[in-house]
Amino acid sequence: AHQQLSDIAKPRYIRVNTLKLDSESALHELGKQYMVHEDDMVPDLLVLPPGIDLHDHPLVINGSVFMQGKGSSMAALALQPEPGWQVMDACAAPGNKTVHLAGLMRGKGKIIACELNKERLRRLKDTIKLAGAANVEVLHEDFLNLNPKLTTYSKVRAILLDPSCSGSGTVAVRLDHLLPSHGVGNADATDVDRLRKLQAFQKKALAHALSFPTVERIVYSTCSIHQIENEDVIKSILPLASSFGFQLATPFPHWPRRGLPVVQGSEHLLRTDPVEDKEGFFIALFIRKLTNNHTEE
């Protein structure tokens, strides 16, 4: 009940799909019906009053805007992919972040969107079509099975890794479950087991992302509030990351909510709050400098 109350009190966020519409036109169009303004930090993110249902709005139906929250929209932005780059979206369906990447790259370059689950692959393809993202190549594969040494991936400069997670930052549960005070919050034994399995995959996937030889930027993101899926994953992977020359960098330096202080460099990590920001997201950004092994096409 608490969560529902907080839902009612929190604004609606929508992200403008810049492949189809610019923010000014979206503001103008939505402004005819609603009080709407741009988010003060995230570009092309619009804020509407609480409680508005936009599911059937023409701009949603034709893919000009996506109903995507603030935390979710921050992940692709944190990666800062440039137009013309090759980028991998490792766990892509249903594709909200894939098409956000495509928008940021202004449709130039290539996004390889990898997804293991067949049903979800269909949703990914629908999202890409709806968004009008022409530069996405969909791969029905296990990301862990992709061979980083293949020439197919030898131009990939950035990876967005948004792996399966508990979703504890977005589910409507009682607020006292949302306290990130210790590793697994108030989870019971079955939950703990599930979280450990998720963590095992998250660690493997992040280690795999780090092993792509030409990658300079990696975003690891979850919609979980649990330390075990967030700071603990980063902590365990830091030695490997540093052996590959990666360091933590600070996405959205002015954002006040950072990682829990349980890992060195937690100030680089970013959290959003499930209550204050409507959804609990976690973002870590790894970067490394590579010397001149890229040739632009």
Q: Give catalytic residue positions.
A: 223
CB of 285 to ligand SAM, least distance (A): 16
Q: Which residue has the tokens 């979710």?
A: 72
Distance (Å, whole) CA 221 – CA 164: 10
* Residue 137 sits in the site that holds ligand SAM (CB under 6 A): no
CB of 294 to ligand SAM, least distance (A): 25
Q: Provide the Cα torsion 33, 38, 39, 45; round to 10°.
A: 80
Span of 91-99, 151-159, 186-194, 288-296 interacting with ligand SAM by CB under 6 A: 91-99
Q: Which of residues 104-133 bind ligand SAM (CB under 6 A)?
A: 114-117, 120
Q: Residue number with the shortest CB distance to ligand SAM?
A: 91
Which whole-number Å values give the CA distances from 157 to 154, 215, 221, in the listed order? Answer: 9, 4, 17
Three-state secondary-structure class, residue 216? coil
* Residue 186 sits in the site that holds ligand SAM (CB under 6 A): no
CB of 45 to ligand SAM, least distance (A): 15
Among 53, 51, 69, 84, CA closest to 15: 69
CB of 95 to ligand SAM, least distance (A): 5
Could you write out the three-class secondary structure of 36-63? CEECCCCCCEEEECCCCCCCCCHHHHCC
DSSP letter for each residue of 155-190:
TEEEEEE------TTTS---GGGG--SSTTTT--HH
Question: Looking at 84, 94, 132, 265, which residue binds ligand SAM (CB under 6 A)?
Answer: 94
What residues contact 32, with CB distance under 8 A and at least 6 apart? none
* Residue 148 sits in the site that holds ligand SAM (CB under 6 A): no
Cβ atoms of 258 and 267 within 8 Å: the answer is yes
Q: Which one, 27 or 171, has the nearer CB to ligand SAM?
A: 171
Q: Which one, 145 or 243, has the nearer CB to ligand SAM?
A: 145
**Residue 2, both tokens:** 């608490």
Question: Looking at 35, 41, 61, 144, which residue binds ligand SAM (CB under 6 A)?
Answer: 144
Span of 101-109, 160-168, 235-243, 257-265 interacting with ligand SAM by CB under 6 A: 160-168
CB of 240 to ligand SAM, least distance (A): 18
Q: Which one, 103 or 163, has the nearer CB to ligand SAM?
A: 163
Binding residues for ligand SAM (CB under 6 A): 91-97, 114-117, 120, 142-144, 162-165
